[in-house]
Amino acid sequence: MKKVLVIGAGIGQVNIVKLAKDKGCHVTVVSIKGNYPCIPLADVFFECDIYDRDRIVEYAKEHQIDAVLSDQNDLMMPTVAYIAEKLSLPGNSFEQQLSYTDKNIFRNICDKINVPVPKHVAVNSSVVPVDFNAHLPWIIKPADSQSSIGISKIETFAEYSNAVELALSKSKKREAIVEEFFVGTEFVCEGFVYKGKYYNLMFGDRRYFEGTLLPCQTLFPTNILPTHIQEKIIECETKIAAEVNPSFGIVHSEYLVNLETGDFRIIDTALRGGGVYISSHLVPLTTGIDINSVLLECALGEEVNIEDVMNKRGENASAYVCFNLPEGIIQSVKGLDEVKAIPNVDFFDDVNLAVGTYTGKMEVKGNRKGPIIVHALDRDQLESIMSKLKETLVINVSGSDIGSGIIWN
């Protein structure tokens, strides 16, 4: 029986754990103590901080672990690579992983190989960089965080100091990145790298809550990104993969595109699957490819016929739908069961929607409600199902000065 070590025990790792168990593997999950969904699913729970990498290496060595992996979370991936490299397990080197995970390192690589990124500079203090000549507004974010944590958009220099201090406080290595704000429509690009070669899975359209940097929906496949721009983006992803040369891994990237001029910038990437169930649910629902299974096979050292896998790719439609609620106390919830019963609704994460629950403020991605996972034959049907969701679910909140009801966008 192969022994699999999964770093992290959150929702992003659930599918990995289930697939490994279905494959007959013995699964250990590594996490701090908490009410995490993978802990009861695994054979063994090893309580350990994921940043205590040498301790995890010793555990893996002692228990003769055969494979180490994770998904959907940037914070887990450097630890996965560290263990794989130290124990000569299938995987990527620590340096290769950081090339995708660390925002400053990644942007420097893009500059080197002529992949378009916004003008950028690394900072580790609140002093305005004198040699940064990009026009305001600027985006300021931690170099090594995720989920929009610690991100600010500033319009004036007066906002700079507080924004940088926020970003530094959310960075494990206290480093931030300042970059020019590029105006464009956001698209996501899902792919897989195998032996340094990039394979595209699909493109999606991303929508945001009005006036925020927080996504409310991501829909696949795109129906507005022109094919010739998709081809240029795939060329960029191919150049990045060739430069970093990972052994294998799911790749999730985000691009801003000026649809009038065709100009674009890559604004983020990760050598792991897209979060909010993109890799575990939306990729297979849209393409028919269970990319988490491919990832597991690679981590176990199995030879994968990646060309054959990609040749089986289909094209249906899927989306995640998140929503927000005004700050206050939930007074009533109607239509929850009806939403779950709608054909083509695959999953509804309805945690924290009980009557009497305080909703809080939506300041980071983790404060969003949902998601609701939906699939369809095509985008028209997908939009129709999403409209039905909005008509069916009714939540009223009291104690808010901006009214009650669901905020969908």
Same domain, 50 and 166: no
Q: Say what the pLDDT of residue 126 is.
A: 85
Q: Quick check: 321 pLDDT over 90?
A: yes
Instruction: Look up the pTM and report it.
Output: 0.95
Are 74 and 97 in contact by the 8 Å Cβ rule? The answer is: no
Mean of all residue pLDDT scores within the chain? 95
- Residue whose C-alpha is closest to residue 30's, from 14, 66, 6, 54: 6
Final residue of a structural domain among 89, 106, 133: 89
- Assign 390 to helix, strand or coil: helix
Q: Is residue 188 domain-shared with residue 298, that is, in the same domain? A: yes
Closest CA to 326 of 264, 270, 399, 241: 399
CATH number at residue 39: 3.40.50.20
3-state secondary structure of 401: coil
Single out the residue in 50, 68, 89 at which a domain terminates.
Answer: 89
pLDDT band at 127 (very low <50, low <70, confident <90, very high): confident
pLDDT > 70: percent of the chain:
99
In a domain, 19, yes or no: yes
CA–CA separation, 97 and 108 (whole Å): 15
pLDDT digits (tens, 9 = 90+) for 65-95: 999 999 999 999 999 999 999 999 999 999 9
Q: Beta-carbon neighbour count of residue 272 at 10 Å? A: 26
Would you say residue 147 has pLDDT above 80? no
- Full 3-state SS string of the chain: CCEEEEECCCHHHHHHHHHHHHCCCEEEEEECCCCCCCCCCCCEEEECCCCCHHHHHHHHHHCCCCEEECCCCCCCHHHHHHHHHHHCCCCCCHHHHHHHHCHHHHHHHHHHHCCCCCCEEEECCCCCCCCCCCCCCEEEEECCCCCCCCCEEECCHHHHHHHHHHHHHCCCCCCEEEEECCCCEEEEEEEEEECCEEEEEEEEEEEECCCCCCEEEEEECCCCCCHHHHHHHHHHHHHHHHHHCCCEEEEEEEEEECCCCCCEEEEEEECCCCCCCHHHHHHHHHHCCCHHHHHHHHHCCCCCCHHHHHHCCCCCEEEEEEEECCCCEEEEEECHHHHHHCCCEEEECCCCCCCCCECCCCCCHHHCEEEEEEEECCHHHHHHHHHHHHHHCEEEEECCCCCCCCECC
Write out pLDDT tens, residues 268-280: 999 999 999 999 9
Q: Are residues 191 and 236 in the same domain?
A: yes
Asked if the model's pLDDT at residue 402 lies above 70, the reply is no
Model pLDDT, residue 38: 98
> Does some domain include residue 404?
no
Question: Is the domain of 193 the same as that of 294?
Answer: yes
Candidates 307, 191, 310, 300; CA nearest to 249 is 191
Mean pLDDT of 42-66: 98
Is the pLDDT reported for residue 367 higher than 90? no
pLDDT at position 401 over 70: no
Q: Tell me: pLDDT of 311 over 70.
A: yes
More confident residue, 364 or 255: 255
Is 168's pLDDT higher than 90?
yes
pLDDT of 215 over the 90 cut: yes
Beta bridge partners of 256: 186, 265
For residue 57, pLDDT over 70 is answered with yes
Are residues 248 and 153 part of one domain? Answer: no
Hey, what amino acid is at 377? Answer: L
* 162 domain residue, yes or no: yes
Residue 60 has pLDDT above 70, yes or no: yes
CA 302 to each of CA 72, 251, 378: distance values in angstroms, whole numbers, following the listed order: 22, 20, 34
Is 129's pLDDT higher than 90?
no
Work out the pLDDT band at 301, boundaries 50, 70, 90. Answer: very high
DSSP3 helix / strand / coil % (the chain, rounded to 5): 30, 30, 40
Cα torsion angle, 74, 22, 293, 282, sign = negative
Q: What is the pLDDT of residues 329-338, one digit of tens each?
A: 999 999 999 9
Give the model's confidence band at 403: pLDDT under 50 very low, under 70 low, under 90 confident, else very high: low
99, part of any domain: no
Say if 37 falls within a structural domain.
yes
176 and 196 both lie in a single domain: no
> What per-residue confidence (pLDDT) applies to 363?
73
| Residue after which a domain boundary falls, among 161, 180, 199 | 180
Look at residue 360 in the predicted model and tell me its pLDDT: 85
Residue pair 214/147 in contact (Cβ under 8 Å)? The answer is no
Given a cut of 80, whether residue 167 has pLDDT beyond it is yes
Secondary structure of residue 312 in the 3-state scheme:
coil
Within this chain, do residues 64 and 174 fall inside the same structural domain, yes or no? Answer: no
135 and 251: one domain?
no
Q: Do residue 187 and residue 298 come from a single domain?
A: yes
Domain membership flag for residue 112: no
Domain count across the chain: 4
Model pLDDT for residues 91-121, shown as the tens digit of each residue = 999 999 999 999 999 999 999 999 999 999 9
**Can you give the CATH number for the domain in which 195 is found?**
3.30.470.20
The pLDDT of residue 330: 94
Say which CATH number the domain at 124 has: 3.30.1490.20
Q: Report if residue 109 sits inside a domain.
A: no
* Mean pLDDT to the nearest integer, 22-27: 98
Whether 385 and 328 map to the same domain: the answer is yes
Least confidently predicted of 17-26, 135-144, 187-196, 229-238: 135-144
The reply to whether 98 falls in a domain is: no
Same domain (yes/no): 259, 304: yes
DSSP, collapsed to helix, strand or coil, labels residue 335 as coil
Per-residue confidence (pLDDT) for residue 281, from 0 to 100: 98
Averaged over 360-382, what is the pLDDT?
90
- Helices 227-244 and 94-101, axial angle in degrees (round to 10): 150
261 and 165 assigned to the same domain: no
pLDDT of 399 strictly over 80:
no
The domain in which residue 328 lies consists of 322-363+378-398
Q: Which residues contact 54 (CB under 8 A, 6 or more apart)?
A: none
